[in-house]
Chains A and B, each alone.
Chain A
């Protein structure tokens, strides 16, 4: 589990506490990288844990950073909320170097965060965690009627879809008319 501390996106972060090492220390010293989300809290994560993320793994595989360079250049994920990134980092640490089980009991429990977590996990390309999250989403509608599913998955009714479509058309029409008027004005 990594510890976190407040940092800034522009300045190098202060020394974060390190993640605990496993009992059997690896022969080759493990390299660490640094990530932060929207809240600028920097997380120190081992390259092993970050391997779960195809996106970050791709980013670091070509960098060849030294520890100092990595510290000075944390990966910024401004589109991910700090608490969500914390969940992702925790999960990556918990599953570092382990085969992922078919059912994961270490999934973040906060259901209200599931949507943001899915967005983040998909963005970071963490395949196994995405599958677990999607399983939770699928489980939500087990045994539910269409009306209940509509509510759980926030699906608009046909009438709402039609109204939204009409509104979009109206807006597009107005915008087109505005552009035509502006173009006519320019011509004068």
Chain B
């Protein structure tokens, strides 16, 4: 049964809009110019949204997704694809766009997908009066780093660079570019297929969380010392006990002073806990709860090792053949 929404009073219309999901808002904005204007006006006048807007460029598809405060999950609100994927299927030209609809969001088709991706990001940020919070890309989305930095006044809050199994190419050059050129304040996740020889001699941070989700073999002791992050997680690490002794010495002397959490999962499960005497690492039965200042999760330490810095800050370490975890209480 139809409901003539535009004949309702403004306060009713506002109530209905407030109950719609972001993807439904974007879809509705394509109903007519009038509706788009109305929705845009609503978000211009309303309180700043607590939603987080992510630009994605993954798997040959541009997209915009939004994370609402409801469940923390991201939902795609619009996508941009290359026109070739239509494979001859004809779509009607609507206001200059070839538009389809799939999985609860509009899909626009472009001859130039990069341009199309930029266009949909501009469209959604303008509609919701909301800036891009995070960028999620694979090796083919490197172009987006400079574009996003140029269009934002503030540093990007979140950045994720992931491996795409469709492309087996070596990501050394791309990762080097990513590490040198991405400026992010909160969360940075890295995971692509770099070669055994990959080296990085720059610095990272300051940022809250750095997570190297795979192929973390390239992170050297010097890299670790130069990461200015509160929370560091590395998968596939090749750091040795000598490296970690060196890192702990650096930490005791006041290095990596912002670090609160370090979690290494080793590539080979051969790590031997053999700490140098000068570090004064002592075995302990102490039980302590670590609470992340970044996102509030908790981890209980039931014994392990304890170590103290010159300024009095204490840390606990738990390790075994496959992992090394260090939590710092400032």
Contacts and interface: CB of A to CB of B under 8 A. Distances in A.
A141 interface: yes
B168 interface: no
B31 interface: yes
A80 to B, nearest CB: 15
A145 B106 CA distance: 8
B124 to A, nearest CB: 15
Contacts of B15: 130-131, 134
Interface residues of A, number: 31
B20 A111 contact: no
B101 interface: yes
A118 B12 contact: yes
Which bracket fits the contact residues of B?
20 to 34
A156 to B, nearest CB: 7
Interface stretch (A26-34, A83-91, A146-154): A146-154
B2 A137 contact: no
A150 to B, nearest CB: 5
A135 interface: yes
B16 interface: yes
Contacts of B31: 146, 149-150, 153, 155
A155 B3 contact: no
Contacts of A119: 8-9
A99 to B, nearest CB: 20
Contacts of A149: 27-28, 31
Contacts of A188: none
B16 A137 contact: yes
B242 interface: no
A158 B3 contact: no
B19 A143 contact: no
A47 B95 CA distance: 54
Interface in B1-53: 1-9, 11-12, 15-16, 19-20, 24, 27-28, 30-35
Contacts of B6: 153-156
A134 B12 contact: yes
A161 B32 CA distance: 9
A111 B11 CA distance: 21
Contact of B106 (A118, A137, A146, A154): A146
Given A146-B30, A157-B32, A111 B16 contact: no
Interface of B: 1-9, 11-12, 15-16, 19-20, 24, 27-28, 30-35, 94-95, 99, 101, 104, 106
Interface of A: 111-112, 114-115, 118-119, 122, 130-131, 134-135, 137-138, 140-146, 149-158, 161
